[in-house]
Amino acid sequence: MLHKITREAFKNHGPIQILYPGLTLAGHDSGIGSIGRIDHAVVHGRQHIAMHPHINDEILSYFRSGKAEHIDSENYKDTVGGKRLMLMKAGKRFYHEEFIDGQTEPFEGLQIFIRPGEKDLEPEVIFQDLQQHDSENQWRLLASPTSRTVFRFSSQTWLYDAKLSGGETLALPGLPGEELTILLYVYQGTIKINGNIVLNKKEAMVLKNEVISIQSTQGAELVLFLTDENAPIFKEGMYSGNKGNLI
């Protein structure tokens, strides 16, 4: 199965573009397995996102340029962006606010909402410093359900990234399990899949049981999601779940 998601699938919310990947497929699930929602933010200047709650969401802040100061109800205060990433495991209830600084350079990044394996887990905040800003021409495993990674999801979910140089070709990583559903997201640049399917920035491909090659003429930055749609998840998280009003 190959299913392309175009930019038109995003919902506009000011400087944040919101993707509910499941709404692009037949059915009534706003997510795809444990992949609940992907926010792509671009902020010029400074912006304050006031203190707000999260319930039963696991949120990975993948901010690649600019900085964001994070303050939360668990008494954590830190700055994320560039090589410093953050995973918030909201559990039963969790509050946080962000002060975004996109003044020196535009702030851009993803806030990724993953569905937990079960509801009302204990809240937890985890930070990770990457050795390099980019993973050149190879997949880097950032988060998984195992102890292999600092960021550990409670659901059967894996997250990779890679920076593909112009003229290079990349295959999918070795899958950690059978019958996994894959979402390949273009964070920057343009790629071709199997030589003929073009994906531009803010476009994605959902695939299952496919062997593909990824090429880029000018270079691209990619984020790869793997999810086991048959594994247990809680689908009613505040932002990751199925809600009547999908804003």
Assign a CATH topology to domain 2-227: Jelly Rolls (2.60.120)
Residue 199 scores a pLDDT above 80? yes
pLDDT tens profile 140-179: 999 999 999 999 999 999 999 999 999 999 999 998 877 8
Whole-angstrom distance, CA of residue 204 vs CA of residue 168:
19
DSSP for the chain reads -EEEE-GGGPEEETTEEEE-GGGGSSSS-SSBTTEEEEEEEEEEEEEEEEEEEE-S-EEEEEEEESEEEEEETTS-EEEEBTTEEEEEE-TT-EEEEEEEEEEEEEEEEEEEEE--SSSSPPPEEEEEE-SSS--BTS-EEEEESSTTSSEE-SSSEEEEEEEEPTT-EEEPPPPSSSS-EEEEEEEEE-EEETTTEEE-TT-EEEESS---EEE-SS-EEEEEEEE-TTS------TTTS--SS--
What contacts 92, CB < 8 A, 6 or more positions away?
A: 55, 56, 119, 120, 121, 122, 123
Q: Nearest-CA neighbor of 189 among 178, 176, 198?
A: 198
pLDDT tens profile 15-44: 889 999 999 997 789 999 999 999 999 988
pLDDT value of position 103: 66
pLDDT value of position 100: 78
In the chain, pLDDT over 70 holds for what percent of residues? 97
Q: Nearest-CA neighbor of 153 among 234, 52, 99?
A: 234
pLDDT tens profile 211-228: 999 999 999 999 999 999
